[in-house]
Amino acid sequence: MLEIGPKGKKVVAVAPDWPGLARGAKTGEDAIEKLRAYLPRYAPVAKRAAMGADFDASTNIDVVEQYSGTGSTDFWGISFAFSSIDKQGMSADELERELTLLQACWAFFDDVRGRVSAELQKGPRGGGRDRDRIVLHIFANEQDWAKGLGVHTPDDAMLTDAGMKTHRDAYCQGIRDYHSQGKLAGKWPLRYMIRHTAFHTLDHAWEMEDKDLTGKQA
């Protein structure tokens, strides 16, 4: 899917079959090529979800939909709008497939968090978050989004692995419950919520990999 910013400044290529796989650029062609370049980086996620063979067989990229984004699409180069596919219903099996991939994104994030340096490479002017600030940012956003499912996670949940597991289990169960009732997560279709959560998780996991100072510090 191609999400096109209203001013045409950015286009985001979104893979609807693989939650979390999305890349933005200045043109649709560039966004597709950038997404293609990230296929090897998404492969470990698909493998964790026991879908590696299916992912590896998905070599063709076809544009199945183009739709208008929001001002944030143009500004951030990230998907912030709902496609017609996002609004489609899902069977219980389809939902579980998407949740399995979301859980694989979380597991990949945890793996990256465990192996990168606490201090991350800064930008040209010293900007950027360190590892623990990224972890806090991820949790804070999910904590807020979960409210759209009627799930309220306490602040101290992120302090332990057990607390994070409880949060993520409740997040997925909230999606299942709303799916069974035909409800949106606030204003978000459930497909969009899953893919947006997965994207946010992977985008910051890849950021940590790219800025890791392990082996580079004197």
Could you read off the pLDDT tens digit of each residue along the chain, which spans 218 residues?
A: 999 999 999 999 999 999 999 999 999 999 999 999 999 999 999 999 999 999 999 888 999 999 999 999 999 999 999 999 999 999 999 999 999 999 999 999 999 999 999 999 998 766 789 999 999 999 999 999 999 999 999 999 988 999 999 999 999 999 999 999 999 999 999 999 999 999 999 999 999 999 999 977 54
Write down which residue in 45, 76, 107 finishes a domain. 76
The answer to whether position 85 is within a domain reads no
Per the structure, the complete domain to which residue 30 belongs is given by 2-76
Residue 139 within any structural domain of the chain: yes
Task: Let me know whether 66 and 96 are in one domain.
Answer: no
Question: 36 and 63, same structural domain?
Answer: yes
pLDDT at 211 (0 to 100)? 96
Looking at 51, 76, 101, the residue that finishes a domain is 76
Q: What is the DSSP string of 66-98?
A: EEE--HHHHHHSS--S--TTTTS---HHHHHHH
- With respect to residue 216, please indicate whether it lies within any of the assigned structural domains: no
Residue 86 inside a domain? The answer is no
SS3 48: helix
- Tell me, what's the pLDDT at 126? 66
CB contact at 8 A, 200 and 105: no
- Rounded Cα gap, residues 133 and 152, in angstroms: 21
